[in-house]
Structure 1
Amino acid sequence: MNSPQYDDIDDNASIETDTNISAVMWTDPLLPSPPSTRRRRRLLDRHAIRHVEREQARSTATASTSTSFRHMRQTVLWWWNDWFHTLAYQKTTTLITYLFITYVTLVLTFAGLYYTLSRTIGCEMDLHVLMEALYFSLSTQATIGYGVSDYYFGGCWTPFGLVLVQVWTALLFDAVAIGLIFQRLSRGHKRGKTVWFSRVACIRRVQDQWYLYIRLAEGRRHPLIQTQVRGYCVRHERYRETASPNHTLQTTHFVTRPVRWLESHVWMRLPQVLVHALDATSPLVPPKDGWYDAQGHWRSTSDSTTFNESLQEYWQDRQLEVIVLLEGIDALTGSMSQTQHSYTLENIVWDAQFVPCVRPDTNNNGGCVVDFAQFHETQPVNEDTPCPYL
């Protein structure tokens, strides 16, 4: 099998979107055996994103990443300069706990002030014990009404000012609490949990050209609108230090190369298959002139007998990861939702394509039936097998 020619990687790699329908599956396909079986840590944690393999009804998509940030100074100051979003990104139970503690603290603080005022100035507040001050503070904050003998506190201005401050503080607290809780309950990434990504990606050859296939689908009857798909290739780069007499191998940071999707708006009413051509412009293939591996050895595409071997060696050495992001608008709330998924070498099925999961509905005189039991399933193919996505 002849390997395709490679040129220098271009950032403007194209990916085509196909509107043909295909399907889902739960059996584990045979994956290629990479040079090393050690499971490395992903940049995007799939287990934190999606539990489709374990709980089909709970397809997930939380934005969890294994990226570590070190030596960040003044972290607490940065967080509290944007305290609203700091609290909004807390867990719902944690947020409610914080709000309850704050509410109780306000009641206790003003109760102490009222009790001190009643013991020192008086003003006919009738607060003889601390418990009465607590009830008075709670009544003020909740605007329940007072049970004191003199509603006007003997004409004193000090209780008026203190009650005014507490009522204003309570209004601000209620506004913030309602805003935070509403923000948590209506957050967009929860909506993205209903978007399914195929557990594996397929790579196959069609008429002397190799392609990468990824399938996605919407799990709700009311899909996201204005849906866009973007892809990123994250990999580790290496180069020779020419100034060094020993030609020491230098390793750069992870670089992200965009994988641009042609006509990236997708229709989520039915499952979609995203197709990316693994040609000279793709950031997923080795450069034409060759590359250095982790040991500093020069590797050429001609060293591998097949395209499969060349691609596997390159992906394994570069720790390459394909991250797919899907964004759309929920028609009911108008909020933007985003979900993401990642694929590494261990998630690739070679010389295969997805099993169709959409069939005509013969019982209702038209329409389609989506069989999500076949969504992740693949079947082996050869080069002559027709490809419905091209």
Structure 2
Amino acid sequence: MRKEVQRRIVSKDGHNKVRIDNVEGMVKLYLHDIWTTVVDMKWRYKLTLFASTFVMTWFIFGVFFYFIGMGNGDFDVEHNSTHVPCLMNVETLTGAFLFSLESQTTIGYGFRYISEECPLAIFTLVAQLVITGLAEIFVTGAFLAKLARPKKRAETIKFSKEAVICRHQGRRCLMVRVANMRKSLLIQCQLTGKLLRSYVTEEGEMTQIHQSSVDFCMDSSGECPFLILPLTFYHVIDERSPLAGLTADNLKTRDFELLITLNATMESTAATCQSRTSYVPQEVLWGYEFMPVLFCTTGGRYVADFNFFDKVQVCNDPALNVEKK
């Protein structure tokens, strides 16, 4: 029997899995916002762009200098003794390329240089330094911007592989566990959820993906928690919840995706980072609760043991256990 492929909009590691097709003028749109396009490039393309920017500008202006020398007659076999070349000691395209490289990188060996009798070569040199300087600033800036993106910090935020449904303070709740994998604090943490599912309006119109807000909170009176320890966020399943009507029997047959987003501010840079994950019905466990992950050593120190981060155990609520059966 062929296993049905589970469709997802967001992967477990937070990447968008929706493919965009048949967009007219896609290349033009990407070139219109060239900065974002370059910053979002994969590293292999960015490194290629970084290297090719230097090599291509060296070669292009080397060709310009070669044609300037050719137009001035510097490469003629026979010329009079009063002839002054535009580029001294440049007789081939390779020499022109080396002169362009030495000028742009400010090496300045002194063997190849521009004579005072060739204004066009002087103008080309000035244009090269201005144009390539701007290009290098752009590419280097995009390179550094990608290195400093908060996206990398978000990769050190860990979500539990599965969500659980159990009772918390007498109410039926859906719970997820979140942890910060670095010692540096994440402050002003806010966990939000979106329930993605198909929906039929009162007029009978079918909506393929309908988004409903799923509110998560903690036992901190709504205050923004410090994500210094693994924390468990919960959503109360009541009549106002988008998950109202969810039971142990229909959980596995329901078609939905729960998108979880954590927004936080990094203590070290004050930049905002965002981390995402999603849960499908097969990843929601009914009648289970998370096992303790925080322990105290004999020396009086707290230890977060991540061997227990994703582990669950059957809860003690008889009502939920009866529903599960």
TM-score, normalization by structure 2 = 0.86
**Structure 2 residue identity aligned to 1:232:** K
Task: Quote how far apart the aligned CAs of 1:188 are.
Answer: 1.2
Task: Quote how far apart the aligned CAs of 1:274 are.
Answer: 0.5
Task: Identify the residue that residue 336 of structure 1 maps to in structure 2.
Answer: 272
Task: Identify the residue that residue 197 of structure 2 maps to in structure 1.
Answer: 235
Give the direction of change, closer, same or farther, for the CA distance of 1:166–1:326 in structure 2 (3 Å limit).
Answer: same
**Structure 2 residue identity aligned to 1:253:** Q
Unpaired runs of at least 5, structure 2: 75-84, 320-325
SS in 1 for 2:303: strand
Task: Identify the residue that residue 130 of structure 1 maps to in structure 2.
Answer: 93
Structure having greater relative contact order (Cα 8 Å, sep ≥ 6): 1
Give the direction of change, closer, same or farther, for the CA distance of 1:252–1:167 in structure 2 (3 Å limit).
Answer: same
Rounded to whole Å, the distance in 1 between the matches of 2:318 and 2:197 is 32
Rounded to whole Å, the distance in 2 between the matches of 1:320 and 1:206 is 23
The structure 2 residue matched to 1:271, chosen from 226, 230, 234, is: 230
Task: Identify the residue that residue 263 of structure 2 maps to in structure 1.
Answer: 327
Rounded to whole Å, the distance in 1 between the matches of 2:148 and 2:172 is 42
Task: Quote how far apart the aligned CAs of 1:68 are.
Answer: 2.5
Q: Percent identity?
A: 25
Task: Quote how far apart the aligned CAs of 1:120 are.
Answer: 1.1
Rounded to whole Å, the distance in 1 between the matches of 2:140 and 2:149 is 14
Render the CA deviation track for 1:8-28: whole Å, top value 9, x for unaligned.
xxxxxxxxxxxxxxxxxxxxx
Task: Identify the residue that residue 151 of structure 2 maps to in structure 1.
Answer: 189
Q: 4+ runs of 1 displaced by more than 4 Å?
A: 239-242
SS in 2 for 1:103: helix
Rounded to whole Å, the distance in 1 between the matches of 2:168 and 2:318 is 7
Is 1:353–2:289 an aligned residue pair? yes
Unpaired runs of at least 5, structure 1: 1-35, 50-62, 243-249, 287-300, 302-306, 386-390
Task: Identify the residue that residue 11 of structure 2 maps to in structure 1.
Answer: 45
Q: Contact conserved, 1:229 with 1:265, CA < 8 A, in 2?
A: no
The structure 2 residue matched to 1:75, chosen from 2, 22, 26, is: 26
SS in 2 for 1:321: strand
Task: Quote how far apart the aligned CAs of 1:179 are.
Answer: 0.6
**Structure 2 residue identity aligned to 1:260:** D
Rounded to whole Å, the distance in 2 between the matches of 1:167 and 1:129 is 22
Rounded to whole Å, the distance in 1 between the matches of 2:302 and 2:22 is 54
Rounded to whole Å, the distance in 2 between the matches of 1:220 and 1:310 is 39
TM-score, normalization by structure 1 = 0.72
Task: Identify the residue that residue 71 of structure 2 maps to in structure 1.
Answer: 120
* Correspondence 1:161-200 to 2 at 5 A: 161-200=123-162
Task: Quote how far apart the aligned CAs of 1:359 are.
Answer: 1.4
Q: Contact conserved, 2:178 with 2:230, CA < 8 A, in 1?
A: yes
Task: Quote how far apart the aligned CAs of 1:225 are.
Answer: 2.3
Rounded to whole Å, the distance in 1 between the matches of 2:141 and 2:223 is 34
SS in 2 for 1:334: coil
Give the direction of change, closer, same or farther, for the CA distance of 1:118–1:207 in structure 2 (3 Å limit).
Answer: closer
Task: Quote how far apart the aligned CAs of 1:71 are.
Answer: 2.7
Rounded to whole Å, the distance in 2 between the matches of 1:70 and 1:211 is 39
SS in 1 for 2:260: strand
* Correspondence 1:2-21 to 2 at 5 A: none
Rounded to whole Å, the distance in 1 between the matches of 2:199 and 2:59 is 58
Task: Quote how far apart the aligned CAs of 1:384 are.
Answer: 6.0
Q: Contact conserved, 2:251 with 2:281, CA < 8 A, in 1?
A: no
Equivalences, count: 302
Task: Quote how far apart the aligned CAs of 1:251 are.
Answer: 2.5
Task: Quote how far apart the aligned CAs of 1:232 are.
Answer: 0.9
Task: Identify the residue that residue 110 of structure 2 maps to in structure 1.
Answer: 147
Render the CA deviation track for 1:100-143: whole Å, top value 9, x for unaligned.
12221111110010011012125431321111101001011101
SS in 2 for 1:111: helix
